[in-house]
Amino acid sequence: MKLRCDLTLPASKSESNRALMIAAYGGFAPVFQNLSDSHDTKVLMKALKGLPFIDSCRRTIQPWNDIKGKPQVVDITDCGTAARFLTTYLACHEGHWLLTGTERMCQRPMASLVVVLRKLGAAIQYVEKEGFLPLQIDGKSLVGGKVDIDMTQSSQFASSLLLAAPIWPKGMEMELIGELSSLPYLEMTLAIMRHFGAEIEQKGRLIKVFPKPYQSRSYTIGADWSAASYWYEMAALSEECEIRLRGLSLSTLQGDIVILDWMRQLGVGTFIENDAIVLRKIPYEKRPLHFDFSQHPDLYPTLAATCAVLGIKATFDGLDNLSLKESNRVEAMQTELAKLGNRPVHFCAHNDHRIVMALAPLSILVGPVGFDYPEVVEKSYPNYWKDASFLTFYR
């Protein structure tokens, strides 16, 4: 297939969600350009609209008054970022909360964050299974202090605490322990915090956040490099292509820009032309490759699908945390890629947006493919099927 496309990629939900939390902690209305329209960001926005916030003088306003002792239910559906970020947010706001989500979300770990918040004085109880949602949270003022946080399972635990730290009277001194997984997302958190006036010192695994309130400032959210990865995959699978992607920045805070280098090894060149990044085919040597996903877990489905269908032998490392995502992504991709010999090919979405968006481009080489739940792409890329309308799929 010869591909010629010109499109604007969706805004980063990771940047959007962090900026929204900062505005909530800072007590000011968001002044953002290019806010994500993803399901994840919409869920977080909806939750924040019904919750109290702290103004620049650290006063809690719009407190929740429970009715007949019943907590306010905050349902974050299947949004892992919202679950982790709101746990800290609710813990340091007066009120009674029940934080819950979908069945899958209630299987994703929360213990590392809850342990630290309890040490800081938070009142959090597990409603069902120890270490997982739902959580009963009795919010109250927290003052911050010294903590250590295990990064092995997710960087979101550390980001959740860091985002709150500027509004705590003692700020926070944090030591990162365990394996430093998904570190680029933590660096993104710190960079956006600094943009809004947070004072931060960082030395190796030690991070100190001073008690200095956020300042209201405008902020432009960049296009999503994770979303770009599916277009790199399409380029790799095409015979010839000129895919023009608008909105991406080479000076991004997003670690998934590494896809630019990884896909060069699979015959996709990246060219800067005016206000766009253009993908074209380049010569490459078909040889065994190695990829480490410990810092870039969202790229695993893309590379797994691309290498499988091109017959590229590749070694994948850093897969431990992929079982903790919207699906067990390693098992899901193994199951679905094993179907490629079938005609027709009908894939299971595993309720995972990245599984679907990584498998759909395979129709370029294998013909029409089916999905049981194609709408799941709305979680991060609502216009995916519109942008990639040339792909052939069925339900």
Percentage of the chain exceeding pLDDT 70:
95
- Give the bridge partners for 138, in sequence order: 96, 123
The pLDDT of residue 60: 57
Domains and CATH numbers, the chain: 13-220 (3.65.10.10), 223-394 (3.65.10.10)
**pLDDT tier, 305 (very low <50, low <70, confident <90, very high otherwise):** very high
pTM: 0.95
pLDDT at 54 over 70: no
Tokens for 75?
A: 């349902």
The pLDDT of residue 326: 96
Q: What is the mean pLDDT of residues 135-141?
A: 97
**pLDDT tier, 51 (very low <50, low <70, confident <90, very high otherwise):** confident
pLDDT tens per residue, range 160-203: 999 999 999 999 999 999 999 999 999 999 999 999 999 999 99
**pLDDT tier, 131 (very low <50, low <70, confident <90, very high otherwise):** very high
pLDDT at 322 over 60: yes
Dist CA 20 CA 29 (whole Å): 9
**pLDDT tier, 137 (very low <50, low <70, confident <90, very high otherwise):** very high
Q: What is the mean pLDDT of residues 371-392?
A: 96
pLDDT tens per residue, range 238-250: 999 999 999 999 9
pLDDT at 57 over 50: no
Nearest to 81 by CA among 102, 98, 105: 105
Q: What is the mean pLDDT of residues 113-126?
A: 98
Residue of 78, 298, 352, 387 marked active site: 298
DSSP for 206-229, please give it.
Answer: EEEE-S-------EEPPB-HHHHH
pLDDT tens per residue, range 32-42: 999 999 999 99
| Residue 298 falls in the annotated catalytic set | yes
Backbone phi and psi for residue 149, each to the nearest 5 degrees, phi listed first? -135, 130
pLDDT at 56 over 50: no
Average pLDDT, the chain: 95
DSSP class of residue 67 equals: B
243 Cβ contact list (under 8 Å, min separation 6):
3, 4, 5, 231, 234, 235, 278, 279, 280
pLDDT at 307 over 50: yes
CB 71 within 8 A of CB 93: no
Q: What is the mean pLDDT of residues 257-275?
A: 97
